[in-house]
Structure 1
């Protein structure tokens, strides 16, 4: 049994806002869109060596039949490696992104900060 790759997929209340955050602000490049030629209900973005999928809530029932909202509690967080944590936080803050934890050096040697994406998912920025 060999896992070939892992693609986290987030459900977005507003696909447009999620694409602005992960695409425009964090530099993601679109690699897939469904459906082609119409309003998207799912988009995959490449960020550096990684990829993330973003799906629009309300685009129809989920295939698995489980409710996608409301999610409660801290269910997951994304760790995003960036070249400059401080500069990234300032760019996100200027765009209105909530900063949950200001950049700080950690005992294990990384500098981290936390922001929230448009759906409230925790995003740890680190270098």
Structure 2
């Protein structure tokens, strides 16, 4: 599975998933100039980020059809606490501070620039 998120601000999304979460760019369209779609490698997974440009989408459906919690991404990181510290310094909204869960994982929740929930846990 290859998740693709639509974003109202591609630059902020790239900063969040790239700079703050450590994603590495593997694809950009178009190659020159201002991109409208970028793929980042996060560990062994990829995520696509597509700019909402105002042009009608290929599938014909509105890009923001609903409000509220629609998707939750789980990102494995080496150190949850260090990642949260980096996120906080970068101005990211921390929704749940790092905490041990009954199933044995240490997790934290943040919100990406478009309001999507992102759970951070040890990889």
TM-score norm. by structure 1 comes to 0.93
Where do 5+ consecutive residues of structure 1 fail to align? 1-5
The answer to whether the Cα contact below 8 Å between 1:41 and 1:59 also exists between their aligned partners in 2 is no
1:101 aligned residue: 96
1:14 aligned residue: 9
Structure 2 residue matching 1:73: 3-state secondary structure: coil
Displacement over 2 Å in runs of 4+: none
1:121 to 108, 116, 119: 116
Name which of structure 1's ranges 64-73 and 96-105 shifts more when overlaid on structure 2.
64-73
1:31 aligned residue: 26
TM-score norm. by structure 2 comes to 0.96
Structure 1 residue matching 2:53: 3-state secondary structure: coil
Taking the aligned partners of 1:60 and 1:34, their CA distance within structure 2 comes to 15
| Structure 1 vs Structure 2 CA RMSD | 0.9
Structure 2 residue matching 1:120: 3-state secondary structure: coil
Taking the aligned partners of 2:54 and 2:14, their CA distance within structure 1 comes to 16
- Give the drift of 1:38: 1.9
Where do 5+ consecutive residues of structure 2 fail to align? none
